[in-house]
Structure 1
Amino acid sequence: MKLKPLFIYFLLTITTLSSVFAQQSKTNDRYPIIPKPQNLIPRKGEFVINAQTQIVLNNDDEQLKTAVGFFTDLIEPSTGFKLGYTSNKDKNVIVFTLDPGMKNEEEYRIAVSSKIIDVRSKTAAGAFRAIQTLRQLLPAAVEQKQVTSAVKWSIPAVVISDNPRFDYRGLHLDVCRHFFPTEFIKKYIDLLALFKFNTFHWHLTEDQGWRIEIKKYPKLTTVGQWRPETAVGRTTTDTPIMDRKYDGQPYQGFYTQDEIREVVKYAQDRFITIIPEIEMPGHALAALTAYPELGCTKGPYEVAKHWGVFNDVFCVQDTTFTFLQNVLTEVIDLFPGKYIHIGGDECPKVRWEHCAHCQAFMKENNIKDEHALQSYFIQRIEKFLNAKGRQIIGWDEILEGGLAPNATVMSWRGIEGGIAAAKEKHDVIMTPSPYCYFDHYQADREKEPLAIGGFTTVEKIYGYEPVPEALTREEAKYIKGAQANLWSEYIGTTEHVEYMVFPRALALAEVNWTKKESKNYNDFVERFQKQAKRLDVLNVNYAKHILKTTSTTTAK
Structure 2
Amino acid sequence: MMGLVDQPVSLSSMKIRTIFLSVLLCFSCQAFAGDGELPLIPLPVQAVPQAGQLTIGPGTVIRVVPSDAAALRVAHALSDLLAHSGGPTLAVVTEPAANDDPAIVIRRRTDAAVTQAEGYTLDVTSKEASIVARDESGLYYGAVSLWQLFTAHASGTTATVPAVRIDDWPRFGWRGLMIDSARHMQSVADIERMVDQMALHKLNTLHWHLTDDQGWRIEIKRYPELTRTGAWRTPPEAGKEGTPTRYGGFYTQEQIRQVVAYASARHITIVPELDMPGHAQAAVAAYPQFGVTGRRPSVSVDWGVNPYLYNVDEPTVHFLEGVLDEVMALFPSRYIHLGGDEAIKDQWEASADVQAKMHALGLEHPEQMQSWLMGRLGQYLQNHGRRLIGWDEILEGGVPGDAAVMSWRGTSGIQKAIQAGHDVVVAPDPFLYFDYVQSTRADETAGRLPMQTLQNVYAFEVVPQGLAPGQAKRILGAQANVWSEHMPSAAHLQHAIFPRLDALAEMVWTPAEKRSWSGFLARLPAQLTRYRQQGIGYADSAFAVTIDVDRVQALTSGKALVTLSNQVGSGTIHYTLDGTPPVSGSPVYAAPFTVTLPTTVKAATLTPSGTVLADARERILDVPQLRTIAGNELTACPSEHIDEMRAQPTPDATSLSPVYNVNVFDSCRRTPPLPLDPIRAVVVDIARLPRNVALAHDARLIVRRHASSVHGELEIRVDRCDGPEVSVTNLPDPKSSPRRFELTAALPPLRGAHTLCLLLTASPEDPYYGVTTLRLQQTTEQP
Do these two structures clear the TM 0.5 threshold for a shared fold by scoring above it?
yes
Which of 24, 45, 50 is the equivalent residue of 1:43?
A: 50
Partner residue of 1:551?
571
Query: What do residues 301-344 of structure 1 show as CA deviations (whole Å, max 9, x unaligned)?
Result: 11001211011110111111111101011000101110100000
Which of 177, 194, 197 is the equivalent residue of 1:171?
A: 177
Partner residue of 1:93?
103
1:364 shift after superposition: 1.9
1:120 maps to 2:132: yes
| Structure-1 separation of matches of 2:148 and 2:279 | 40
In the TM superposition, what are the counterparts of 1:225-240 in structure 2 within 5 Å? 225-230=231-236
1:223 maps to 2:229: yes
Query: What do residues 481-522 of structure 1 show as CA deviations (whole Å, max 9, x unaligned)?
Result: 110000011111101100000000110110111111111112
| Structure-1 separation of matches of 2:195 and 2:184 | 18
Given that 1:35 and 1:510 are in contact with CA atoms closer than 8 Å, whether structure 2 keeps it comes out as yes
1:73 maps to 2:80: yes
1:297 maps to 2:305: no
1:203 maps to 2:215: no
Letter in 2 for 1:191: Q
| Structure-2 separation of matches of 1:454 and 1:535 | 26
1:552 shift after superposition: 4.4
Partner residue of 1:424?
420
**What is the SS of the residue equivalent to 1:300?**
coil
Given that 1:316 and 1:357 are in contact with CA atoms closer than 8 Å, whether structure 2 keeps it comes out as no
Partner residue of 1:28?
33
Q: Please give the TM-score of this superposition, normalised by the length of structure 2.
A: 0.64
Given that 2:122 and 2:132 are in contact with CA atoms closer than 8 Å, whether structure 1 keeps it comes out as yes
> Relative to 1, partners in 2 of residues 1:297 and 1:150: Cα closer, same or farther, differing over 3 Å?
closer
| Structure-1 separation of matches of 2:405 and 2:398 | 12
Considering only CA atoms, is the larger Rg found in Structure 1 or Structure 2?
Answer: 2
| Structure-1 separation of matches of 2:219 and 2:160 | 46
1:330 maps to 2:326: yes
Given that 2:59 and 2:90 are in contact with CA atoms closer than 8 Å, whether structure 1 keeps it comes out as no
How many residue pairs end up in the alignment? 524
1:276 maps to 2:272: yes
> Relative to 1, partners in 2 of residues 1:141 and 1:223: Cα closer, same or farther, differing over 3 Å?
farther
Query: What do residues 145-173 of structure 1 show as CA deviations (whole Å, max 9, x unaligned)?
Result: xxxx8442332211100001111100010
Partner residue of 2:468?
472
| Structure-2 separation of matches of 1:136 and 1:555 | 32
1:450 shift after superposition: 2.3
Letter in 2 for 1:551: G
| Structure-1 separation of matches of 2:177 and 2:276 | 21
Given that 2:54 and 2:160 are in contact with CA atoms closer than 8 Å, whether structure 1 keeps it comes out as yes
| Structure-2 separation of matches of 1:135 and 1:416 | 39
Query: What do residues 160-203 of structure 1 show as CA deviations (whole Å, max 9, x unaligned)?
Result: 00001111100010011111100000000000000100100000
**What is the SS of the residue equivalent to 1:426?**
coil
Letter in 1 for 2:119: E
**What is the SS of the residue equivalent to 1:139?**
helix
Which of 496, 499, 503 is the equivalent residue of 1:503?
A: 499
Partner residue of 1:238?
none
**What is the SS of the residue equivalent to 2:430?**
helix
Letter in 2 for 1:469: Q
1:446 shift after superposition: 4.4
| Structure-2 separation of matches of 1:190 and 1:468 | 31
> Relative to 1, partners in 2 of residues 1:260 and 1:231: Cα closer, same or farther, differing over 3 Å?
farther
Which of 280, 302, 310 is the equivalent residue of 1:306?
A: 302
Partner residue of 2:456?
460
**What is the SS of the residue equivalent to 1:341?**
strand
Partner residue of 1:111?
123
Q: Which moved more, 1:216-225 or 1:540-549?
A: 540-549
**What is the SS of the residue equivalent to 2:449?**
coil
Partner residue of 2:533?
537
1:88 shift after superposition: 1.6
Partner residue of 1:62?
69
Point out 4+ residue stretches in structure 1 off by more than 4 angstroms: 15-21, 23-26, 552-555
**What is the SS of the residue equivalent to 1:340?**
strand
Given that 1:139 and 1:154 are in contact with CA atoms closer than 8 Å, whether structure 2 keeps it comes out as no
Given that 2:176 and 2:205 are in contact with CA atoms closer than 8 Å, whether structure 1 keeps it comes out as yes
1:52 maps to 2:52: no
Provide the aligned C-alpha RMSD in A. Answer: 2.5
Given that 2:180 and 2:209 are in contact with CA atoms closer than 8 Å, whether structure 1 keeps it comes out as yes
Partner residue of 1:373?
369
> Relative to 1, partners in 2 of residues 1:502 and 1:16: Cα closer, same or farther, differing over 3 Å?
closer
> Relative to 1, partners in 2 of residues 1:467 and 1:249: Cα closer, same or farther, differing over 3 Å?
same
**What is the SS of the residue equivalent to 1:171?**
strand
Unmatched 5+ stretches in structure 1? 1-14, 143-148, 233-244
Question: Relative CO higher for 1 or 2, CA cutoff 8 Å, sep ≥ 6?
Answer: 1
Unmatched 5+ stretches in structure 2? 1-14, 545-565, 574-587, 591-783
Query: What do residues 2-22 of structure 1 show as CA deviations (whole Å, max 9, x unaligned)?
Result: xxxxxxxxxxxxx9999999x
Query: What do residues 205-248 of structure 1 show as CA deviations (whole Å, max 9, x unaligned)?
Result: 0000000000000111110100011589xxxxxxxxxxxx9946
1:288 maps to 2:284: yes
1:98 shift after superposition: 1.3
> Relative to 1, partners in 2 of residues 1:25 and 1:199: Cα closer, same or farther, differing over 3 Å?
farther
Partner residue of 2:594?
none
Partner residue of 1:485?
481
**What is the SS of the residue equivalent to 1:546?**
coil
Q: Please give the TM-score of this superposition, normalised by the length of structure 1.
A: 0.89
